[in-house]
Amino acid sequence: MRIPTLASALAVVSCLAVAGRAHAQTGAAARTPNIVFVLADDLGIGDVGCYNPASMIRTPHLDRLAAQGMRFTDAHSPSSVCTPTRYGILTGRYAWRTRLQRGVLFGLSAPLIAPGRPTVASLLKAKGYHTACFGKWHLGLGWAGQTTDDPLLKGGAVDYTKPLSDSPLSHGFDTFFGITGSLDMAPYTYIENDRLTALPTLTSTEGGRAGPTAPGFSALDVLPAITAKAEAYIAARAQAAKAGTPFFLYLPLNAPHTPVVPSGPWRRDHPLGHYAGFVEQVDDTVGRVLAALDRHGLAGQTLVIVTSDNGYAPYVGIVTGDDRRAGKGGVKALEALGHRPSADYRGYKSELWEGGHRVPFLARWPGSVKPGSVCGSLLGLHDLFATAAELVGADYPESAAEDSVSFLPLLRGEAGRRTDLVMHSVNGRFAFREGAWKLVAWRGSGGFSDNQKRPDGTRVHDGLPDAQLYDLAADPAETRNLAAEQPERVRRLREALEKAVAAGRTTPGAPQTNDVPVVIDKTVP
């Protein structure tokens, strides 16, 4: 087993409110646990009550999970948008090492995970786990007849009647049910294992963008369908899990990402509109998963993790009626009412500032994780791979999980191993974190706000310094750029970022090769 530590000197960082080992493993908890990994989509850290007591949205199940387990306060998605984060979670590798240098994939995009690259699912499957994925894949699929990687359905004729040549089943999952990508990306239909459940013979704007749609497909039904699949899977695997065959359930939700489509009791009047209902429905899904584990006697032998793929999407405001894609007023409308989806952090989805990638991260593992504990150690979602490997004693080659660092010690109340982190934005900009210090290698956010213009037509970042340096220990809201005052620290962090890119890895081991040349300083504005 490769248990990575960082190439830099180890700085011991331990979890707050946890002294030494939280609990000795006894009974069922001493066995290799089932793993349930729930990934919300665009859930802001300030949306969740246990992170933001002033939140106007009710999240009782997430709050209960925090009370029963560990709440991480310095957890980060490796990217501030969907696809690259999902790639990082499953492979333990930064997605900017691939062809995806900016943006996200679309419904008919070619697969991003290379054939044969180990994933969390394939690693656990090799160690005897049954593996399942229900929800939003968003990593490209092998469509029959597809000849281009055109994201908007303009290239290559797709034969929807044929099985997918590359699906979650190609990357270690025994079973899959879900959708191609975000719910605003056609084709609008379900996939079960490697086939569509219904052919998209119609054209609709069911998800917001026009595209091929299966008869009867409704965006309102997707989250309930994913939730029901997860509940049924837990029931079906309970006996085998108790007999010694654990399972890995990866549950990437479509919510609260646009289109904002809460259903049933969650589609109700609220000062924040339907966005609040969609977040509350996500919370309900978590509650149903926890209840299923309780109902089948599996809670005590299951590690449950709930997090988000990036921060809150700033174009979602007060969504009402059929206004699915973007609510009135955007984030300013929510904040004017007193709800801060990024809490006190700067920025939102797509950006290098903390609100773009600092995410809620809750973990419960009875007998190993101390209830009600809080961990302030640095963590990346792409650390799941190394964590799973250490948990089950799995070996993997140096050419796999090049950027993953196990957080298993953190769960047990021990010192953390991660000391630095690379962050990436929707526009392909970079930031580098070392301890409490953060270098943003760009004059703006790297995200959607870079498109904003001043009255004179210049962009909001024009004329600003080329680098931003923040001391997050003293200034977590990133209000004071210290780059001009500390040029030597900027230089050193910049060199560390360049090394992380050039070496093809950020963990010890033989240098690896990025799939494509990676440029830190883009020439585009």
The one-digit pLDDT tens for each residue of the chain (525 residues) are: 553 333 333 333 446 433 333 333 333 344 799 999 999 999 999 999 999 999 999 999 999 999 999 999 999 999 999 999 999 999 999 999 999 999 999 999 999 999 999 999 999 999 999 999 999 999 999 999 876 666 555 555 789 999 999 999 999 999 999 999 999 999 999 999 999 999 999 999 887 788 899 999 999 999 999 999 999 999 999 999 999 999 999 999 999 999 999 999 999 899 999 999 999 999 999 999 999 999 999 999 999 999 999 999 999 999 888 777 777 899 999 999 999 999 999 999 999 999 999 999 999 999 999 999 999 999 999 999 999 999 999 999 999 999 999 999 999 999 999 999 999 999 999 999 999 999 999 999 999 988 888 888 888 887 788 999 999 999 999 999 999 999 999 999 999 999 999 999 999 999 999 999 999 987 655
Closest CA to 79 of 278, 339, 359, 337: 359
Tens-digit pLDDT profile for residues 326-337: 778 999 999 999
Longest Cα–Cα distance in the chain: 69
d(CA 259, CA 277): 13
* pLDDT score at 146: 75
Kind and range of the H or E run holding 62: helix 60-68
d(CA 432, CA 397): 26
* pLDDT score at 19: 33
**492 three-class SS:** helix
Whole-angstrom CA distances from 384 to 46, 90, 158, 233 are 23, 8, 34, 22
Closest CA to 74 of 305, 418, 429: 418
Are 515 and 99 in contact by the 8 Å Cβ rule? The answer is yes
Q: 97-107: b or e for each residue (b if 16 or more CB lie within 10 Å)?
A: bbebbbebbbb
Taking the CA atoms of residue 127, residue 133, residue 137 and residue 139 in that order, the dihedral angle to the nearest 10 degrees is 10
Sequence-separated (6 or more) residues with CB below 8 Å from residue 434: 8, 419, 420, 493, 496
Sequence-separated (6 or more) residues with CB below 8 Å from residue 524: 427
State whether the Cα torsion 223-227-232-233 is positive or negative: positive
Domain spans, the chain: 38-244+256-419, 424-502
Closest CA to 247 of 86, 450, 37: 37
Output DSSP code: residue 473. Answer: T
d(CA 52, CA 333): 18
CATH topology of domain 38-244+256-419: Alkaline Phosphatase, subunit A (3.40.720)
Residue 442: phi and psi, rounded to 5, are -170, 155
Tens-digit pLDDT profile for residues 217-266: 999 999 999 999 999 999 999 999 999 999 999 999 999 999 999 999 99
Closest CA to 279 of 290, 289, 268: 268
d(CA 47, CA 58): 9
Please list the residues that pair with 331 across neighbouring strands.
none
Q: 190-215: b or e for each residue (b if 16 or more CB lie within 10 Å)?
A: bbeebebeeebeeebebbbbebbbbe
**238 three-class SS:** helix
Structure tokens at 124: 């656990």
* pLDDT score at 4: 37
Domain 38-244+256-419 matches domain 424-502 at the CATH topology level: no
Helices (H), 193-329: 222-242, 274-295
Sequence-separated (6 or more) residues with CB below 8 Å from residue 154: none
DSSP strands (E only) in 368-480:
373-375, 379-380, 420-424, 430-434, 437-440, 468-471
* pLDDT score at 147: 63
Output DSSP code: residue 454. Answer: -
Residue 483: how many other CB atoms lie within 10 Å: 17
Taking the mean position of all CA atoms in its chain, how far away is CA 360? 10
Residue 162: how many other CB atoms lie within 10 Å: 14
CATH of domain 424-502: 3.30.1120.10
Tens-digit pLDDT profile for residues 453-505: 888 888 888 778 899 999 999 999 999 999 999 999 999 999 999 999 999 99
Residue length, the chain?
Answer: 525
